Amino acid sequence: MLNAICELVRCFTGVQGHWLGSEPEPVQRIYFVNHTSHFDCMVLLSVLPRSIRKSVRPAGAADYWLKTPMRRWFSQKIVHFIPIERLKPTRRNNPIRALVNALDAGSSLILFPEGTRNDSEILQNFKSGLYHLCKQRPQIELIPTFINNANRILPKGECIPVPVLCTVTFGEPLYFKVEESRDEFLERAKQAMERCAQNVIS
């Protein structure tokens, strides 16, 4: 069903993927992405080849995606979201542990390091989760990704999408560097995403 939904998304939005410095290869990756809409992950998944899409799991806020039966069904049965506890994280429901387990099971991930939806054209500072995850699994390839116009397809507060053209731009791969501090790593990752934004092809 996921493939059918992705085909509908492609027809509805005319979304195109642009690979600048990376290619859609069947290797394990962490796609770190700007976040403007709850439609973001479907837009991204729809431009990935089917052979890659099937092993990619988005991370999403548990308090949103598990809130209603419909969201719970869609997130768990269709997209296979990794629910992230952001309201009351504890050692037992540590978000990083769930992400590491998914990587160790062979999945690639979609992460939104800004942490929450951003209506501005200026990226917010990245949360530390991306750093802590990559510190535990430094061998995983990181792909900076910028989605343009998804916030106009499903604006904040709306539940019915509208047909708007959008693009997904994938940048050059990054790798975690052991010698980097948290702030240095997050700034380097943010700059990589900003370069994707500057190279958006309309």
Phi-psi region of 78 (alpha: psi -120 to 50; beta: other; left: phi over 0): alpha
Are 118 and 5 within 8 A, CB to CB? no
User: Stretch 133-154: mean pLDDT, rounded?
Assistant: 86
Whether this prediction's pTM lies above 0.85 is answered by yes
Is the confidence at residue 153, as pLDDT, over 90?
no
What are residue 18's DSSP bridge partners?
169
User: Stretch 150-164: mean pLDDT, rounded?
Assistant: 57
Top-confidence residue, 143 or 150: 143
User: Stretch 102-131: mean pLDDT, rounded?
Assistant: 89
pLDDT value, residue 39: 79
The percent of residues in the chain predicted with pLDDT above 90, rounded, is: 63
Is the confidence at residue 14, as pLDDT, over 90?
no
Element (H, E) at 196: helix 182-198
Q: What is the pLDDT of residues 23-74, one digit of tens each?
A: 999 999 999 999 887 778 899 999 999 999 999 999 988 888 888 999 899 9
Is the confidence at residue 158, as pLDDT, over 80?
no
